[in-house]
Amino acid sequence: MKKFSILVSLLIGFGTFSVRAGTETYKQVAPPPPPPVYGIGFYGAIDAGANVYQNLPNSRTFTQDNPNFPDSFGDTLEVSPQHNVGVFAGLKFGYVFNPGWSVRPALELDSFYNGFNTDTNFTLREPDGDFIKSAHSSNRLNSGVWLFNFILRLGPPSWQFQPYIGAGPGVYYASLNGISFTTPDGETFHGSGRNHADFAFDALAGFDYFFNPKLSVFVEYKFLEFTSTQINTSQNRALGQHLVGAGVRYFFWP
């Protein structure tokens, strides 16, 4: 009887050990954090750069063909505007939507100062091309520009490098300083300045690089055109500029 009891105890103990040995303990693993989201919501930015080229009129040559002035008949006058590099600097405010698309829309108000010098050289020549005399005029165009741009950001918000394109209408206010004209004899004459306000539009392309979800640096190219709809003239006096700049963008929310 004792042998039977001992045998039963051994069997029960062995079974208990086997059950315990086959039981595994599972630890709950935390899910990985979601990927960071770059550049969503409201933002402000500052930027500056150069208007590297203006499509001013090309050099033109005028010929004196009035026979009432025989002493200068056939003389030519070359007028050569200079494509000077200017500067711009301004502020941007905008909002980037996040509809879950790889191409995300954004709206932006872009305001900036834009100015450059307008120099023109004049050269008078005889009919055979011999040089007679030259003169020079200088002026400066200062303007304030306000544009409302619609922008498409290319790529999901998980990208740290985000290219974009855009375009939009706006207005400008421009002021020409009084012109300064220097004669071949070294005399300088000054003329009165002019102001003008009209419509503007731009087309742009650029990219952001994000250091964190709220802060980025960006580089941007902009084609800007000043229209002349308020000037009664048969000539197209629109002024186009090519602007290249860089800046810092900060996102306030989320």
Which CATH number covers residue 176? 2.40.160.20
Cis peptide before 156 (omega within 30 of 0): no
**Which among 143-157, 185-199, 227-241 has the top mean pLDDT?**
143-157
Assess whether pLDDT exceeds 80 at residue 206: yes
- Top pLDDT among 86 and 19 is at 86
- Cβ atoms 83, 53 nearer than 8 A: yes
- Cα-based angle 241, 247, 252 (whole degrees, multiple of 5): 125
pLDDT band at 20 (very low <50, low <70, confident <90, very high): very low
Give the residue numbers spanning the domain of 235.
41-251
Let me know if residue 36 belongs to a domain.
no
pTM given for the model? 0.75
Whole-angstrom CA distances from 248 to 43, 91, 163, 182 are 10, 10, 15, 42
Assess whether pLDDT exceeds 70 at residue 159: yes
Let me know if residue 10 belongs to a domain.
no
Count of structural domains, the chain: 1
Closest C-alpha among 205, 209, 214 to residue 42: 214
Assess whether pLDDT exceeds 80 at residue 55: yes
Let me know if residue 4 belongs to a domain.
no
Let me know if residue 13 belongs to a domain.
no
- Cβ atoms 59, 78 nearer than 8 A: yes
User: What's the mean per-residue pLDDT of the chain?
Assistant: 82
Task: Check residue 75 and give its pLDDT.
Answer: 79
Let me know if residue 8 belongs to a domain.
no
Let me know if residue 29 belongs to a domain.
no
Instruction: State mean pLDDT over 157-184.
Output: 86
Assess whether pLDDT exceeds 80 at residue 10: no
Let me know if residue 71 belongs to a domain.
yes
Let me know if residue 60 belongs to a domain.
yes
Q: Residue-wise over 107-121: b if at least 16 C-beta within 10 A, else e?
A: ebebebebbbebbbe
Assess whether pLDDT exceeds 70 at residue 248: yes
Residues above pLDDT 70, as percent of the chain: 78
Q: Is 70 helix (H, G, I), strand (E, B) or coil?
A: helix
Which residues touch 34 (CB under 8 Å, ≥6 apart)?
A: none
